[in-house]
A = this chain, B = another copy of it.
Amino acid sequence: MNTDSIEQKWSDGEREIVRATYRVMVEHGYSNLSISKIADELGKTKASVYYHYDSKEELLVSFLDFVVDWFKNDIAEEISESPETALSNLVESLIPLELDDETFHGQVVLLELRSQTRRSEEFRERFTEINDLLVGIVRDIIERGVETGAFRDVEAPRVAEHIVATANGARIDRVTTDRPAAPAAVRVSLSSYIDSELRQHD
């Protein structure tokens, strides 16, 4: 994966629009999103948004494609480490204990979009891709650890599904409830799971 891929795949205009879409949703929520608000955020006309996207739906699918690429770049930075460090960093970034306001609301926006997968097959495909991507990254780290002898010979795909489900559950809990101590408890328990399930102790 290449950290330049976002610049290569997305034109300046498209990137500006999806970023403005994100900022509008972070501020107003998904249900109050409109092309007018995005145009205002950009300081441009609605026509200049419609030049790139035919509908709000098409724009949102594009936004989710951007999220996929963004995840790829963001996480790619962490996987050059040793398998133990990579996995531990990944768990920390998947279950953040502190969230600034923008990240907090960004998580809520993604949850709002995720809850709309019923009405949009294209949304559903993107969230499938995001979860596949996360599980694939965790699985690759585990397999690398098994190869180098850092980890036991576990069933990597299954352990990876477990780690991603736990992290997703904890992150969604974090942004939708008042249970501030929960993410730290899950993170400690997940680290201890990784330690006892994966690490060689001889």
Q: Which A positions have Cβ atoms within 8 angstroms of B?
A: 29-31, 105, 108, 111-112, 114-119, 124-125, 127-128, 131-132, 135, 157-159, 161-162, 164-170, 172-173, 175-179, 182, 185-186, 188-190, 193, 196-197
Contact = CB atoms under 8 A, between A and B. Distances in A.
A161 B178 contact: no
B161 A165 contact: no
Count copies of this chain in the complex: 2
A92 to B, nearest CB: 15
A115 B110 CA distance: 9
Contacts of A108: 115, 117-118
A128 to B, nearest CB: 4
Given A168-B169, A193-B197, A176 B114 contact: yes
B176 A166 contact: no
A185 B163 CA distance: 11
Contacts of A175: 117
